[in-house]
Amino acid sequence: MAEHEEIQQPETPESQNDERHWYVIHTYSGYENKVKQNLEHRIDSMEMHDQIFRVIVPTEEEIEIRNGQRRTVNKKIYPGYVLVQMRMTDDSWYVVRNTPGVTSFVGHGNRPTPLEDDEVKNILKQMEEAPTKVRVTYQVGQSVKIVDGPFMDFEGVVDAIDQEKGRVRVLVSFFGREAPVELDFLQVTKLVD
């Protein structure tokens, strides 16, 4: 392998018995998936399967509602970071550190610091068990049109948004009076100005 600067490993029992640990690498923002793909390709081409085991971009599902359309998107939990499970050796450090898009390992100085087991468990649990979040593009005070239900085609103003329940309260005019109507996020759309 080409010459490279030698890494100073922390003096811990874990590094001496060459166990697997999770490390965090910093990437250019927006390039997390590309870094994952590049690193997996390098693991294959450089035959590093015995030293670098898993590469994860932590994400959670989010439902985005735009113009009355529901779309499921994967949102990065930690933008700009990728998790790598590996045995820290000079060769494995070199392969990861020199992957296009990787800016550095997270740690102290030149020493990559492994994540604690509890931290890794919490991140993986968050990825698996996180309830799908709903993101809406309208705000309190914004004019909307009701597109479904008994108040279809009525227009109103958003009075409150309940992210937890996926509901919105809209003030609708009936016979010259405003009345609050509780609706699902999908039942309204922004009015085009």
Confidence of residue 69 (pLDDT cuts 50, 70, 90): low
CATH topology of domain 13-134: Alpha-Beta Plaits (3.30.70)
For position 113, what pLDDT does the model report?
92
Residue type, 108: H
Per-residue pLDDT, averaged over 59-80, amounts to: 79
Q: What is the pLDDT of residue 68?
A: 61
Give the burial string for 161-191 (b: 16+ CB within 10 Å, else e): beeeebebbbebeeeeeeeebebebbbbbbe
Confidence grade of residue 5 (pLDDT, cut at 50, 70, 90): very low
- The domain ranges of the chain are 13-134, 138-190
Lowest-pLDDT choice from 14-23, 29-38, 73-82, 89-98 = 14-23
CATH number of 138-190: 2.30.30.30
How far apart CA 120 and CA 124 sit, in angstroms, is: 6
Residue 48 token pair: 């590093």
Q: What is the pLDDT of residues 10-23, one digit of tens each?
A: 444 443 445 899 99
pLDDT of 175 reads 82
| d(C-alpha 44, C-alpha 52), whole Å | 10
Q: Are 109 and 134 in contact (CB under 8 A)?
A: no
Over the chain, what is the mean pLDDT? Answer: 83
Q: Is the dihedral of CA 11, 13, 17, 19 positive or negative?
A: negative
Distance CA 157, CA 26 (A): 43
